[in-house]
Structure 1
């Protein structure tokens, strides 16, 4: 188990930097996506709300997400797996979606309501004590060296305005060739913040 006070302090440093940024670009294998985070509040998930923890997250501006994402872990929804999810965003909205397994469920989830096609959360996992995918997103979204995005409902405390009946987290491994640029500055590489 991580030392939670140290985790809080380390993550708070990331939050303080990210709170000042306007744009985010996330690149990984078959992933290149940009978004506007200006004025958004980054949240330090340090174990006080759910446990275990280890992530920093916010909500991008609803219509700002552009690009493509290929999620390297299966998406889990109500116990069902959706494998090799690929999404293309234009003006914040998912305009193309595919999966190797579970594509019908993926498309049904996207059609839940209008907000289901927009990103409600973007986050970086920082808990390097979680070392394997468990199919339980309360654990998996915290895996150190990962990025996750949630389609659907945004957390109001981060400033997000997207609303939906769903909030569905999907996970991308950033340990090999993963990069995050904030306002054009490289702040995260190969699964680690480099601040």
Structure 2
């Protein structure tokens, strides 16, 4: 990234995404690859009168844990990470991996980590729900992310700049425009209660009584561009096919079909990666949905194998198994929140309270002029 891009990105993250105020503490979690961005964030934090603490993983750390770590060590939650999520006012998670294709740790080690993190993540979801913890997830362009997206580092940096709008003269103003446009959609969705997603391989229904659709305008994810909620847990019925690849713990699953009755996922099939699905659905809380959403960011113009970007692609919908969003009124609990994406650009429709509101990847003009 150029100095201009770094400064614009840092300014957006600190002043818009987490809206840091004087005296507030910001915890940043990333790797040493993101050090240039962290340095730029430090300047913005100081200008805002806040305090920055950070944890930067070093190359080889994951491999060392996988080779030498014990169950007890995998179950240890780092002190700063715990305090940052449970006590600080703001949190930035900056993805900048050294390698995305390392094999996963042994199942007992993964389970130990999941169990140890569960109370921390419960606090995290509760605190982000009412903005006691202002958080944003983002990326720093690096070779591993670029390679995963089948781009050069230069191409990937331009892709990130476009998606986050830091290539524009006033990124914050651009995201405020997104907020305004999406609010019309959210207002309509919140006036409805029965929904149906349908295309040539999907026909699934759910209800949202007592739930709130949320306008994701860049303050919790960067980039953003989606509207989402948590469905009533027992209300989901039908079949859905996810045609975009799904990645979990570095493993790719393709062509996922789920069969659902009264909120419970009763059967599942993957064209490849079936064992990953089987392992995932053995985890508590994963056989119900925690999220339903519609992607609205039409500047994300390609699939990048990064869910932070891919779930926002304009013309798609996604549903997440596992953990619900408390701020949306969801009640399902799980150590997993896994987003799965379906294309709606070729004949896809969304019906709300019996009326079509979306076709071929776009909301009707009255909602999205």
TM-score bracket relative to the smaller structure:
over 0.9
Counterpart CA distance in 2 for 1:7 and 1:105 is 36
The answer to which structure has the higher helix fraction is 2
Gaps of 5+ in 1: none
For residues 69-121 of structure 1, what are the alpha-carbon distances to aligned partners after superposition, in whole Å with 9 as ceiling and x for unaligned? 000101111121101000000010111100011101101101111x1000100
Residue 204 of structure 2: aligned partner? 33
Structure 1 contact 76–135 (Cα < 8 Å) conserved = yes
Of 313, 335, 347, 1:177 maps to: 347
Structure 1 contact 19–39 (Cα < 8 Å) conserved = no
Larger Rg: 2
Q: Which runs of 4+ in 1 moved over 3 A?
A: none
Which secondary structure does the structure 2 equivalent of 1:5 belong to?
Answer: helix
Counterpart CA distance in 1 for 2:349 and 2:281 is 27
State the superposition RMSD in angstroms.
0.8
TM-score with structure 1 setting the length: 0.97
Of 123, 131, 149, 2:301 maps to: 131
Which secondary structure does the structure 1 equivalent of 2:309 belong to?
Answer: helix
Which secondary structure does the structure 2 equivalent of 1:35 belong to?
Answer: strand
Q: Larger relative CO (CA 8 A, sep 6+): 1 or 2?
A: 1
Residue 29 of structure 1: how far off its partner (Å): 2.4
Within a 5 Å distance, the mapping from 1:68-83 to structure 2 comes to: 68-83=239-254
Counterpart CA distance in 2 for 1:140 and 1:29 is 21
Stretch moving more, 2-11 or 116-125:
2-11
Counterpart CA distance in 2 for 1:100 and 1:163 is 28
Counterpart CA distance in 2 for 1:189 and 1:10 is 18
Counterpart CA distance in 1 for 2:253 and 2:353 is 33
For residues 143-186 of structure 1, what are the alpha-carbon distances to aligned partners after superposition, in whole Å with 9 as ceiling and x for unaligned? 00100000000010000001111000000011011000010110
TM-score with structure 2 setting the length: 0.52
The answer to which structure has the higher strand fraction is 1
Tell me the number of residue pairs that the alignment of Structure 1 and Structure 2 aligns: 194
Residue 15 of structure 1: how far off its partner (Å): 0.6
